[in-house]
Amino acid sequence: MAHRVVLIGGGYAGMYFLRTTLDALPSDVQITLVDRLPKSPLKTEFYSIAAGTSSLKEVTLPFPAHPQLTVVYDEVIGIDQEKKQLKLRETEDLIYDTLVVALGCVDRFHNIPGAEEHSLSLQSLKRAQITGHEILTLDAYRSVVLIGAGLTGVELAAELRETRHDLNITLIDRNELVLNGFSTKLRQYVENWMTEHEIEVLHGIKTQAIFSDHLEHAEGELPFDKLVWTAGIQANPFVQLIQGAEFDSIGRIVVDEWQRVPSDPAIFAIGDCAASDHPPTAQLAEFHGEYVGEVLLAQWRNQPIGKRTFAPKGMLGSLGRGSGFGTLKGVDMSGKIPRMLKSGVLWSYKKHVETT
């Protein structure tokens, strides 16, 4: 009987796993990919869907075609680890010998009353499309509040300024400068860009409650017409169903050096749902996917498994279509060059996985 691998999730981590394994699979291994969407989403670009600067085609990629790969368009809603069986919402249960969980993350609302109920989101393609519709169809001079001044919040604010120059855009930040984690030089550069493009940034604001038309904080209230949440993530809730697993502070599965769940070595976790010393990024997800692919190929060939360590290459962000910022190999950059580099990285990823 064939060895049955089930991969849950076709994002960055899942696509790199498939790219690594498909052309090297032993003849007795079959892979089943389960995903709700018929295409792989480029989640780091969802802000551009919400801002109306990218089409659906530009932020999705087709899944690979291979005789040993079956794609099931469905959602996993349960797991029986003893029987190695997955329960799906619409189709028949799946049996696995090896399970690779690449389910990514969802919004984390920090128990703020009304946050989940009254916030728009970018954490799925469907939600990003809804967010785009809600914002882009606003009447002129309406107000949009973005909670969270990290990379996603900054990129959305900048891109939205290009498509809706008439809107009043406010970025809410808990810190003294936007983009916590970047250098002070780059953070100030982005702050200045926001000021020049009439995007208001409010610092030191800790949201206490969100209502349908305003939010409350320690200093008072802030009205809005639409509010977008970009202020934190946590692992997809499905991973909590894995018995015997341990989780970190944002619900990610604690894994061993091979990305396996220590209490159940038939299960691997990769991408944003796997605990790591590094923050969740597309780079890390791609590394996990490739690495677990190499680990499994080595196991099937009875070969030693090489240990690999993730080394971040840097981080790039965009400020609309004409400018950007970022750090590569410890060097800060701002202006047109990092924006061009970011476009090049995205193009390279698409070509990388489309050749699978």
Q: What's the CATH number where 166 sits?
A: 3.50.50.60
Pair 277, 337 in one domain: no
Write the pLDDT tens digit of every residue in 267-314: 999 999 999 999 999 999 999 999 999 999 999 999 998 888 999 999
Please answer whether residues 244 and 265 qualify as being in contact, where contact means their C-beta atoms are separated by less than 8 angstroms: no
Between CA 26 and CA 114 the distance in angstroms is 51
- Check residue 38 and give its pLDDT: 94
Segments forming the whole domain that contains residue 202: 112-231+317-342
- Check residue 141 and give its pLDDT: 97
Judge whether 57 lies within some domain: no
Beta-strand ranges (E) seen in 81-120 are: 85-88, 94-95, 98-101, 105-107
Q: Is the pLDDT of residue 356 over 60?
A: no
Element (H, E) at 194: helix 184-196
Pair 188, 278 in one domain: no
Q: Is the pLDDT of residue 115 over 70?
A: yes
Please answer whether residues 300 and 139 qualify as being in contact, where contact means their C-beta atoms are separated by less than 8 angstroms: no
Pair 244, 227 in one domain: no
Write the pLDDT tens digit of every residue in 220-277: 999 999 999 999 999 999 999 999 999 999 999 999 999 999 999 999 999 999 999 9
For residue 133, what are the contacts with CB-CB under 8 A and spacing of at least 6?
none
Mean pLDDT of 31-55: 95
Judge whether 45 lies within some domain: no
Percentage above 70 pLDDT, the chain = 99
Closest CA to 147 of 104, 124, 114: 114
Pair 150, 262 in one domain: no
Query: Looking at the 3D structure of the chain, how many domains does it have?
Result: 2
Pair 8, 150 in one domain: no
DSSP characters over 241-271: GSTT--B-TTSPBP--TTSEETTEEEEEE-G
Mean pLDDT of 75-90: 97
Judge whether 49 lies within some domain: no
- Check residue 352 and give its pLDDT: 76
Task: Residue 126: count other Cβ atoms within 10 Å of its Cβ.
Answer: 12
Instruction: Report CA 320 to chain centroid distance, whole Å.
Output: 20
Q: Is the pLDDT of residue 354 over 80?
A: no
The CA radius of gyration of the chain, in Å to the nearest whole number, is: 21
- Check residue 355 and give its pLDDT: 58
Judge whether 99 lies within some domain: yes
Determine whether 332 is exposed, middle or buried from the number of CB atoms within 10 Å of its CB (0-12, 13-18, 19+): middle
- Check residue 347 and give its pLDDT: 86
Pair 204, 297 in one domain: no
> Which amino acid, one-letter code, is at 139?
D
Last residue of a domain, one of 310, 331, 350: 310
Pair 240, 306 in one domain: yes
Between CA 301 and CA 295 the distance in angstroms is 10
Mean pLDDT of 138-143: 98
Token representation of residue 292: 């677990």
Pair 255, 137 in one domain: no
- Check residue 219 and give its pLDDT: 87
Pair 290, 214 in one domain: no
Write the pLDDT tens digit of every residue in 153-174: 999 999 999 999 999 999 999 9
